[in-house]
């Protein structure tokens, strides 16, 4: 299981668990994958078969605009390599071009409605959704499904992440969804520069 999931079950801070993994101080076996992800193999939680074994595993790659098609292909290739490394036999990759701030993404909606898709793999949390990705993850878990985030390391704290989501939402309304991300990043950069 991923660090964040194990930390939540053990009532620990994920950053502490990542530190323990890097320092080799984990009380249970861990695995460092070639992609840089830490997987925790706790016998207390791995008594049931892995969700990867049952149902379909689908990789979902998304970019915001059509001028990022090259990035979309590279993202899809990285996801496919990650899934193969996890032992997934028949890797299916779904790519989509659309804003992460709205819910009108046909391919993602189709995947979320399909009960045969038991595992959904995304590269970063914001590739699934810019805001409320945690709600999607909770809904998947409630139906016995799983969301795997390849790179779940977040350098920003909770407050900065929340501020980014709020700024992205406001910029989307003010300037249109297309340039919302860019304007939110500029606003955050200005805030960071003022602190220094």
DSSP per residue, 141-153: HHTT-EEEES---
Q: How far is 58 from 128, CA to CA, in rounded Å?
A: 13
Query: What's the pLDDT at 121?
Result: 93
Mean per-residue pLDDT, 144-156: 76
Query: What's the pLDDT at 49?
Result: 42
What is the largest distance, in Å, between two alpha-carbon atoms of the chain? Answer: 51
Q: How far is 69 from 96, CA to CA, in rounded Å?
A: 10
Instruction: Please name the residues in contact with 102: beta carbons below 8 A apart, sequence gap of 6 or more.
Output: 177
Query: What's the pLDDT at 96?
Result: 92
Q: How far is 10 from 5, CA to CA, in rounded Å?
A: 9
Which of 16-20, 77-81, 118-122, 127-131 shows the lowest per-residue confidence on average (mean pLDDT)?
127-131
More confident residue, 87 or 167: 87
DSSP-derived 3-state class of residue 85 = helix
pTM, two decimals, is 0.58
Q: How far is 97 from 28, CA to CA, in rounded Å?
A: 40
Which residues are known to be catalytic? 64
More confident residue, 152 or 76: 76
Beta bridge partners of 59: 93, 121
Q: According to the per-residue pLDDT averaged within each range, which of 1-5, 36-40, 112-116, 159-163 is highest?
A: 112-116
* φ, ψ of residue 119 in degrees (nearest 5): -135, 130
Query: What's the pLDDT at 150?
Result: 87
Query: What's the pLDDT at 177?
Result: 61
Query: What's the pLDDT at 95?
Result: 93
């Amino acid at each position: 299981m991923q660090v964040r999931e194990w930390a939540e079950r053990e009532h620990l801070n994920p950053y502490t668990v990542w530190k323990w993994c890097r320092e080799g101080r984990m009380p249970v076996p861990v695995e460092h994958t070639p992609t840089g992800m830490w997987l925790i193999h706790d016998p207390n939680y791995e008594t049931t078969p892995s969700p990867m074994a049952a149902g379909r595993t689908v990789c979902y790659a998304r970019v915001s605009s059509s001028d990022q098609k090259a990035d979309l292909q590279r993202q899809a290739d990285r996801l496919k390599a990650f899934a193969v490394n996890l032992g997934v036999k028949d890797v299916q990759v779904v790519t989509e071009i659309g804003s992460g701030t709205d819910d009108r993404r046909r391919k993602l909606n189709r995947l979320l409605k399909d009960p045969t898709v038991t595992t959904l793999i995304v590269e970063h949390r914001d590739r699934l959704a810019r805001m409320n990705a945690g709600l999607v993850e909770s809904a998947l878990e409630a139906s016995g499904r799983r969301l795997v985030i390849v790179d779940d390391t977040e350098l920003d704290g909770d407050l900065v992440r929340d501020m980014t989501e709020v700024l992205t939402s406001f910029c989307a309304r003010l300037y249109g969804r297309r340039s919302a991300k860019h304007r939110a990043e500029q606003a955050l950069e200005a805030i960071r520069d003022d602190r220094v």
